């Protein structure tokens, strides 16, 4: 009994230590490499991207306190992604007089969370985590909306919303604190890819 109790307390100490190193690394979500777009078609337009507005729920904000100036960082990464993908003839920030189109948007979800699995709280059974059973799970969610407007007609030519959620499981041995937030990075990358596909295939640019 005493041995089991000591093992349980050791597990609790290790779990607390892991949790203490598990706060979101605010740089990680913005390190992803832009995905390739499936279509060879490009849009022969000059685009201006305005700052995305942060409209996330309070819970998302609480889980991403380590990310400062989130609107600026999400907008900057999206601009980099669209530019490297050569989606438009040119894209810049912010929108300028003479742009063919203007892109506005909102950040509807953007969060990352790490939490202990139920097995972690069961005395005795939780000792299995020392044999590599996953004891923590993490997930990241990204949801972004974009509206594209033709500057000549002042009419919207496309409105898109995309969301992605990425989950991972971790053992006591394979979680790296420096990578905390990788799930959010993958979700963000996936959302950006979906938005690029939406722009290519669904927006009405009046082109043949």
Buried b (16+ CB within 10 A) or exposed e, 38-68: eeeeebebbbbbeebebebeeebeebbeebe
| Phi, psi angle pair for 181, to nearest 5° | 115, 0
- Fill in the DSSP letter of residue 66: T
Buried b (16+ CB within 10 A) or exposed e, 166-195: bebebebeebeeeebbbbbbbbbbbbbbbb
Question: Which own/partner pairs from 120-123 qualify as long-range (CB within 8 Å, at least 24 positions apart)?
Answer: 120/11, 120/15, 123/4, 123/8
User: What is the distance in angstroms between the CA of the first residue and the CA of the last residue of the chain?
Assistant: 77
CA distance linking residue 101 with residue 87, whole number of Å: 13
- Fill in the DSSP letter of residue 29: G
Written as tens digits, the pLDDT of the chain (208 aa) is: 444 444 444 445 444 444 444 688 889 999 999 988 766 678 999 999 999 999 999 999 999 999 999 999 999 999 999 999 999 999 999 999 999 999 999 999 999 998 876 566 567 656 656 666 677 889 999 999 999 999 999 999 999 999 999 998 777 766 676 678 899 999 999 999 999 999 999 988 765 4
What the block records as the tokens of 24 is 């979101």
The residues, ordered by sequence, that sit 6+ positions from 73 with a Cβ below 8 Å of its Cβ are 30, 67
Beta strand segments in 11-125, E: 43-49, 53-54, 88-92, 101-116
- Fill in the DSSP letter of residue 151: T
* C-alpha pair distances (Å), 144 with each of 66, 71, 175, 180: 20, 11, 28, 21
- pLDDT score recorded for residue 113: 93
């Amino acid at each position: 009994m005493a041995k089991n109790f000591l093992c349980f307390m050791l597990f609790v100490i290790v779990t607390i230590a892991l949790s203490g190193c598990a706060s979101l690394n605010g740089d990680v979500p913005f390190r992803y490499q832009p995905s390739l777009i499936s279509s060879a078609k490009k849009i022969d337009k000059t685009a201006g991207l305005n700052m995305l507005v942060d409209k996330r729920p309070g819970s998302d904000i609480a889980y991403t306190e380590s990310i400062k100036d989130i609107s600026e960082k999400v907008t900057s990464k999206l601009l980099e992604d669209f530019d490297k993908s050569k989606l438009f003839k040119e894209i810049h920030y912010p929108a300028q007089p003479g742009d063919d189109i203007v892109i506005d948007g909102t950040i509807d979800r953007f969060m990352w969370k790490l939490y202990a699995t139920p097995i972690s709280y069961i005395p005795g059974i939780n000792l299995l985590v020392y044999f590599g059973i996953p004891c923590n799970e993490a997930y990241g969610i990204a949801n972004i909306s974009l509206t594209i407007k033709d500057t000549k007609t002042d009419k919207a030519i496309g409105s898109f919303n995309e969301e992605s959620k990425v989950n991972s499981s971790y053992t006591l041995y394979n979680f790296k604190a420096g990578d905390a937030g990788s799930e959010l990075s993958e979700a963000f990358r996936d959302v950006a890819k979906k938005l690029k596909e939406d722009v290519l295939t669904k927006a009405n640019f009046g082109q043949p």
